[in-house]
Structure 1
Amino acid sequence: MLHTLLISSTLALLGAAPGQAQVPIQADFDASQFQGTWYMVGVVSDDQAFLDSRDHLKMPVVLVTPLANGDLALKFGYSTPDGGCQKADVTFTKGAVDGQFSNAALAQTDIRVAATDYKHFAVLYVETQKGGVRSVWLQLFARAPELFPEGAQKMQQMALQVGLNPSQGALLPKSGAVELAERDPAGSPCPPQRAPALPPPPPA
């Protein structure tokens, strides 16, 4: 449930909504610079399901890979209650503008990378409409599993712009999935764990 909520909040932005033209898209978005490992360190939303469950959410790891056709492949890594790690694969389908994507599988369109410096932070603007209820989301991504000041400032500015209140936000604590990714040279979500070394056999 919480895993699905985080994926949905990260991906969905339904188009053609009033005021949407005010939401920026990163100028000259470069998918090759956007690729690699990110951590979702913060979320702000007026979605009631998020507000009800935000105290239980943990920081996911996201590995972004650009595809030859312009899409983005994303692998999410989430911690499980038993201390393990669970993966979810998602595809962002390239839209008409660089930095704008969609995800038909989740009935979500017009995903926007609103701001990023590629090296430290990225802010995604998200809008969902389910059962006739419209919700707005902002997600703050960072290259390291910690809050980056400039990214936090951008997110705060955009929150005011889209009508969100700081009290509707949450900073996501580090999780076991993050610790696994930090130990993996590739920074992959849920990297395979090495089997413990076996002791040498006793001498004959």
Structure 2
Amino acid sequence: MFLVVTILSVMLWTQCFNAIVRPQKDFDLQRFSGPWYRVGLAYDSPEFVPLKKYLQVSKGNITSDTDGNANLTVRGTGKKGCMCGVYHYKKTDLPGQFTYFSDRHQIWKDVTVVESNYTEYSLVVKYKEIMKNFSQVSLYGRFPTLREEILERFRNYSLLLGFSAESILIPSSIDPCSD
């Protein structure tokens, strides 16, 4: 009986999570492209909490290709100094939703732009559908600081998705390698 209840609970949570994580209506990749700062992160990995104090605001750049895919180039400080990472997001049938292969976790993940006004901020959710083990919410800004109302919106959305307050971070310093 415990197994049945557990399975039903996971199925219900998964449906709830998928109902909340929907791409922004009328998403426009061209307007979304360009430079973004990651100014907030909610990450449910147990390894993240002790590393929170080291996370800084990083800068990335989104470009699109002719097929509607997106590429994210991110610069930041790594173990060996300044590093650059490139992520290739493949479009799906839903505008604003992409997939990519995570080299770190060795699985395909979904990336969904759930909300953006294109000129100030964007909320982006990365997750592996059905498993929330590697989920995160990122708050991006066109500038390295955002209005408090937007930061609060990010916090509330992350809490709504089930992230603990300890897993939510808004770094205060800017990564010197990000430009």
State the TM-score, normalizing by the size of structure 1.
Answer: 0.70
Render the CA deviation track for 1:74-115: whole Å, top value 9, x for unaligned: 111012467x53111111000110000000354222210111
Matched residue type, 1:102: T
Q: Any conservation in 1 of the 2:44–2:133 contact (CA below 8 Å)?
A: no
Corresponding residue number in structure 1 for 2:48? 50
Moved over 6 A (4+): none
Identity of aligned residues (%): 21
Corresponding residue number in structure 1 for 2:29? 31
Matched residue type, 2:168: G
Look at both structures and tell me which one has the larger radius of gyration over its CA atoms.
1
SS of residue in 1 equivalent to 2:155: helix
Render the CA deviation track for 1:152-183: whole Å, top value 9, x for unaligned: 133123123211233321122211124xx2xx
Matched residue type, 2:22: P
Matched residue type, 2:45: D
Deviation of the 1:123 alpha carbon: 0.7
Corresponding residue number in structure 2 for 1:100? 97
Q: Any conservation in 2 of the 1:37–1:61 contact (CA below 8 Å)?
A: yes
Gaps of 5+ in 1: 1-16, 182-204
Deviation of the 1:135 alpha carbon: 3.9
Q: How many residues align?
A: 160
Indicate whether 1:123 and 2:120 are aligned.
Answer: no
Instruction: Give, in whole Å, the separation in 2 of the partners of 1:33 and 1:97.
Output: 16
SS of residue in 1 equivalent to 2:166: helix
Q: Any conservation in 2 of the 1:122–1:151 contact (CA below 8 Å)?
A: no
SS of residue in 2 equivalent to 1:158: helix
Which protein has the bigger strand share?
Answer: 2
Matched residue type, 2:28: D
Instruction: Give, in whole Å, the separation in 2 of the partners of 1:55 and 1:35.
Output: 29
Corresponding residue number in structure 2 for 1:156? 155
Pair 1:133–1:41, CA change in 2 (3 A):
closer
2:75 to 68, 74, 77: 77
Q: Any conservation in 2 of the 1:54–1:170 contact (CA below 8 Å)?
A: yes
Matched residue type, 1:162: L
SS of residue in 2 equivalent to 1:53: helix
Pair 1:135–1:75, CA change in 2 (3 A):
closer
State the TM-score, normalizing by the size of structure 2.
Answer: 0.79
Corresponding residue number in structure 2 for 1:137? 136
